Structure 1
Amino acid sequence: MTKLKKIMMGIVVSIVTLGGLIACTGPNHHERFAKGGEFMAKRLDLNEEQKNKMKLLFETIKTEVQEYKDNQPKQQIIALLAEPELNQSEAILMLEQRSNRIKESAPTVIAAIADFTNSLDNNQRTQLQEILEKGRPHGRHFGGRPF
């Protein structure tokens, strides 16, 4: 597998995983997220080492997303909007700080993704690609499957 293909696969996996984390908010979201991991492990027929790497990946992403959510500049935004005239430079600075936070956490997330995907054999990689291409059904009308 070429280096570019590995990078692209890592990016796709990270986007899907982050999307899954965001989609799993609400009541019982921890249980749904855990079931999604169990489904993925069963579907890909992961061994214990691979399951541990997947668990570490999910924990890494969960930590990064939680840190991002915890650092919401809500009060700063309210203060900006309370002023008679919007301070555009301060708003842009806030946006840049948020973007930089994502850029800072990206290597950690990508390393966890690479660690997991590099542990997969060719058959498991193919199955993972199929799962990602197919997407996941939403809601109870599609059998309520976690993935």
Structure 2
Amino acid sequence: MKRFIKRTLLGLFGGALIIGSLGACSHRGQGWQSGAEASPESRARMVEKVGAKLDLDAAQKQKLTVLADKLQTQRAALRGAQDPRATVQGLFAGNKLDQAGASKLITEKAAALQAGSPEVIAAAADFFDNLRPEQQQKVREFMQRGSRWGHRG
């Protein structure tokens, strides 16, 4: 049982590192931005850009705006009040990994993810379910490409 707990914690810690890395890197370019960087204007530009690519009507744009707001709130909750990079670096600051700190970090991130996920899922479903079939297909194609709309380079 003890081995199972160690593996689970190691897996969760690895997942938290990946999420933290993605969050730290996602500020580049014209995508979703974090905390203070994400202005209402930048989210509005994103909604307009995606709206133009998908040919959204006003109601669909409103649902996309709600989804963008929910994602931003969830991202801020996952990011927390402190710099995630500094938090992870702090775990490795001593001669040994701060296991208690790592466990606490994982617990906090998992709780934040679990608390906000139902709202994000509901907003995503509301947006996607109200798209026309050809719009849904464009979203699927975008997801298969794995790139951002309007991203250059």
TM range, smaller chain: 0.5 to 0.7
SS at structure 2 position matched to 1:72: coil
Percent identity reads: 26
Task: Provide the residue aligned with 1:51 in structure 2.
Answer: 61
Task: Provide the residue aligned with 1:124 in structure 2.
Answer: 135
Amino acid across the alignment from 2:102: A
Segments of 4+ moved more than 3 angstroms: 18-34, 70-87
Amino acid across the alignment from 1:101: A
Contact 1:50 1:116 in 2 (8 A): yes
Task: Provide the residue aligned with 2:126 in structure 1.
Answer: 115
Are residues 1:35 and 2:45 paired?
yes
Task: Provide the residue aligned with 1:8 in structure 2.
Answer: none
- Identify which of structures 1 and 2 has the higher relative contact order when contacts are C-alpha pairs closer than 8 Å and 6+ apart: 1
Distance 1:39 1:90, change over 3 A: closer
Task: Provide the residue aligned with 2:102 in structure 1.
Answer: 91
Contact 2:74 2:117 in 1 (8 A): no
Instruction: Work out the CA distance in 2 between the residues paired with 1:79 and 1:59.
Output: 30
**Larger mean Cα displacement after TM superposition, 29-38 or 95-104:** 29-38
SS at structure 1 position matched to 2:60: helix
Segments of 5+ residues of structure 2 without an aligned counterpart are 1-21
Amino acid across the alignment from 2:109: R
Amino acid across the alignment from 2:120: V
Instruction: Work out the CA distance in 1 between the residues paired with 2:88 and 2:55.
Output: 47
Amino acid across the alignment from 1:94: L
Are residues 1:102 and 2:119 paired?
no
Residue 51 of structure 1, CA deviation: 0.7
Task: Provide the residue aligned with 1:66 in structure 2.
Answer: 76
Query: How many residue pairs end up in the alignment?
Result: 123
Instruction: Work out the CA distance in 2 between the residues paired with 1:34 and 1:54.
Output: 10
Instruction: Work out the CA distance in 1 between the residues paired with 2:89 and 2:26.
Output: 27
Contact 2:43 2:68 in 1 (8 A): no
Amino acid across the alignment from 2:135: Q
Segments of 5+ residues of structure 1 without an aligned counterpart are 1-17, 143-147
Distance 1:104 1:28, change over 3 A: closer
State TM-score, norm by structure 1. Answer: 0.63
Contact 1:21 1:62 in 2 (8 A): no
